[in-house]
Amino acid sequence: QVRLVESGGGLVQAGGSLRLSCAASGGTSSTYALGWFREAPGKEREFVAVISWRGLTTYYRDSVKGRFTISRDNAKNTVYLQMNSLKPEDTAVYYCAADQDNDYHTYEFWGQGTQVTVSS
């Protein structure tokens, strides 16, 4: 069983930056792909970014490309999401998720989420 705990959310003005962290414990999370998802009020949860277990492959949703960067430190069992040039439409609860099979499709473990609010 993998436990994921997100941190780093908060309130920021448009154009600002935040860095989210997700600490993993239990299981062998260093061999899992790790992803970030977000859920805005009244909307479905959506994919934001994912990084392979070695950190060699990353994917992003189009709307965050060039602004967000996902990275990981397997020695610390932590994945990060650096968010720059934030926009009000980035406001959401951000969730970290672990993909045991590295298929970037099914995520077996989820964190509790951290709120990101971007003011205009």
Nearest by Cα to 24 from 103, 107, 91:
107
Q: What is the tens place of the pLDDT at every residue in 1-55?
A: 899 999 999 999 999 999 999 999 987 777 899 999 999 999 999 999 999 999 9
Q: What's the pLDDT at 9?
A: 97
Q: What is the mean pLDDT of residues 80-95?
A: 98
Q: What is the DSSP string of 14-55?
A: TT--EEEEEEEESTTGGGSEEEEEEE-TTS--EEEEEE-TTS
pLDDT above 90 (res 80): yes
**Token pair 């992803």 is at which residue?**
35
Q: What's the pLDDT at 1?
A: 84
Distance CA 13, CA 107 (A): 31
Q: What is the mean pLDDT of residues 73-102?
A: 96
Q: What is the tens place of the pLDDT at every residue in 62-75?
A: 999 999 999 999 99
User: What is the percentage of the chain residues whose pLDDT exceeds 90?
Assistant: 90
Q: What's the pLDDT at 106?
A: 94
